[in-house]
Amino acid sequence: MKTLLITGGSGLVGSAIKNIHKNYDYNFVFISSKDFDLTSFNETKKMYELYKPNFVIHLAGNVGGLFKNMNNKVEMLEKNILINYNVVKNAYDYNVEKLIACLSTCVFPDNVKYPINEDLLHYGKPHSSNDTYSYSKRLLDIHCKSYRENFNKNFITIIPTNIYGINDNYSLEDGHIIPALIHKCFLAKKNNLPFIVKGTGKPLRQFIYSEDIAKIIIYILEHFNEESIIISPPEKDEISIEFIANIIAKKFEYTDKIYFDEKFSDGQLKKTADNTKLNNLLNNFFFTPIEEGLDKTINWFIDNYNVLRK
C-alpha cells in the first residue's frame, strides 16, 4: 500500500480528508505543526526520511482572514516561503511520485477580467490586502512548475476558492470570514450585543464546503496530472458576505441585530473563478449548498465550542 502524506493534517481541509480517508486505499499520514516544524529544512527532511511518502498533499501554511493578512505581512510572506520551499524541495529529494500543493484564489491579480482561470495566475499584482501571502503562494506555483519543466516531476497546484466547514479556526481576529462570523454572532447573541460585520458586506465570494474539497483533492490525486486547476463551485453560486452573515444570523435567531461597520476595509470586492476545467474533469460534481454546509458547520461549532480552535 502506498503512503500518502498530508501536511496541514489537523487543519480544515486536512481534517476533512481524515473524515473520509477510510474510503481510499492508501497508508494515510496526517502531519500537523505539533509533529514537525515545516519552517525548518532539517525538520522537514526528518519527516520525509521517516515516512518516505509516495504522494504528498501539501496543505500546511500560515493562513488567516483579511485582517491577519493586512496586519502581518512579513510573517505571512516569510513563514510561507520557508514552509513551501522545504516541502517541495524534499519532495524532489525523496522522489515523491506526485505532489499536490494548495494555493488560493486570492493569489490572482486584483485588476483582471472575470471570471479568472488558471492561465491568469501571474498576470498582474494581487490585491494589496493580501499581497505578501499571495506572492508566497505564487512562488509555490512557480516552484512546482519548475520541477515539472526541468525534471519531469508530477508536481501540481490546486487553487481553491473560499473553504469553510467543521474543524476550522474560529478566531475572531485571525479566522477566515465564515468561521469568524459564526463565532462573532454566537458571542453577540450570548451577550445581547450587536452582531457587527466589518465592511459593507458587498464583496462577492464562491464558497466550498470542506468535505467537498477533500473528495475533489483525492480525485485529482488519482485522475489529474496537468499543472494547475481551480477548485470552485460555478459562477452562479457566487454570493455576498452580507448574504452569508444573514444566513448565520438566521441560524442563531439573531437577524434583527446585524450591523455592517463600513469604516473597515472590504478587501477585494470580487474574485470570480472559472471552474470549467474542474467541471470537465468531474462531470458536474454536486457541491454542498451553502445553507446546508453552514447548518452542519454551525451545529458542529456549538457542540464543540469548548475544544475548537478559537
Active-site amino acid positions: 133
d(CA 247, CA 132): 32
C-alpha cell at position 151: 525534471
The amino acid that residue 176 corresponds to is H
Distance (Å) of CA 259 to CA 184, 201, 246, 249: 12, 10, 11, 11
Nearest Cα neighbor of 158 from 61, 262, 46, 248 is 61
- Burial code (b: 16+ CB inside 10 Å, e: under 16) for 245-273 equals bebbbebbebeeebebeeeeeebbeebbb
d(CA 200, CA 264): 8
Count, in order, helices (H) and strands (E) of the chain: 10, 12
The amino acid that residue 7 corresponds to is T
CB 256 within 8 A of CB 288: no
Helix, strand, coil proportions of the chain in percent (round to 5)?
Answer: 45, 15, 35
Distance (Å) of CA 153 to CA 5, 225, 249, 293: 17, 10, 47, 36
Determine phi and psi for 23, rounding to 5 degrees: -85, 0
CB 131 within 8 A of CB 74: no
